[in-house]
């Protein structure tokens, strides 16, 4: 029987990601596994079509986004720690979500990735679903897709 010891859970703080975290917590509790929460902040593009923002502004927005994400990750970790006695770590990365998820899986030696099938809603919904799809295709460990 498969008994993961290190579970990677990418989150975008959506309701869907909350479901994935809950599922990962249940699996971790049954297997005495550690949970690694990960949030990836998309890198901002300095220029779009014919408009560019100043580098300083772009760097400040990126930094603020990462700080806010780290705060939310700490809140998520605290919720898990209050509900179950599970070892939890978290990280905030910047870059391409699926690439950072795959990199984190390798670095943490996660033997399971629990990921939401879709994060954001609306127009971005179909695009964001491709992150889960690419992770499923390219991960070096089992992936549990949570709807």
* Segments making up each domain of the chain, as ranges: 6-146
Token code pair at residue 9? 């859970």
Residue 38 to residue 47: CA distance in whole angstroms: 27
CATH of domain 6-146: 3.40.50.620
pLDDT above 60 (res 113): yes
Residue 132 to residue 7: CA distance in whole angstroms: 15
Q: What percent of the chain has pLDDT over 70?
A: 92
So what's the pLDDT on residue 7?
Answer: 99
Residue 67 to residue 90: CA distance in whole angstroms: 13
Q: Which residue has the higher pLDDT, 74 or 53?
A: 74
Q: Per mean pLDDT, which range of 50-64, 81-95, 113-127, 130-144 is the poorest? A: 113-127
What average pLDDT does this structure show over 100-128?
80
Token code pair at residue 86? 């599970």
Q: Which residue has the higher pLDDT, 129 or 45?
A: 45
pLDDT above 70 (res 120): no
So what's the pLDDT on residue 32?
Answer: 96
Categorize the per-residue pLDDT at 129 as very low, low, confident or very high, splitting at 50, 70 and 90. Answer: low
- Cα–Cα distances in angstroms (integers) from residue 79 to residues 27, 42, 76, 85, in the given order: 16, 25, 5, 11
pLDDT above 50 (res 124): no
Identify the three-state secondary structure at position 147.
coil
Q: Per mean pLDDT, which range of 47-51, 55-59, 76-80, 82-86 is the poorest? A: 47-51
Strands 51-52 and 6-10: unpaired
pLDDT above 80 (res 81): yes
The length of the chain is: 147
What sign does the CA torsion over 114, 108, 58, 51 have?
A: negative
Q: Which residues are bridge partners to 52 per DSSP?
A: 47
């Amino acid at each position: 029987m498969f008994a993961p010891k290190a579970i990677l859970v990418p989150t975008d703080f959506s309701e869907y990601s909350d479901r994935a975290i809950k599922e990962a917590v249940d699996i971790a509790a049954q297997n005495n596994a550690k949970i690694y929460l990960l949030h990836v902040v998309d890198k901002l593009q300095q220029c779009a079509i014919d408009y560019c923002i100043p580098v300083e502004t772009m760097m400040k927005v990126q930094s603020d986004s990462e700080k806010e994400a780290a705060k939310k990750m700490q809140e998520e970790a605290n919720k898990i720690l209050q509900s179950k006695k599970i070892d939890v770590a978290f990280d905030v990365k910047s870059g391409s979500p699926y690439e950072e998820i795959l990199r984190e899986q390798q670095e943490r030696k996660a033997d399971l990735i629990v990921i939401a099938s879709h994060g954001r809603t609306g127009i971005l919904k179909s695009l964001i679903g491709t992150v889960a799809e690419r992770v499923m295709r390219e991960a070096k460990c089992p992936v549990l897709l949570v709807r």
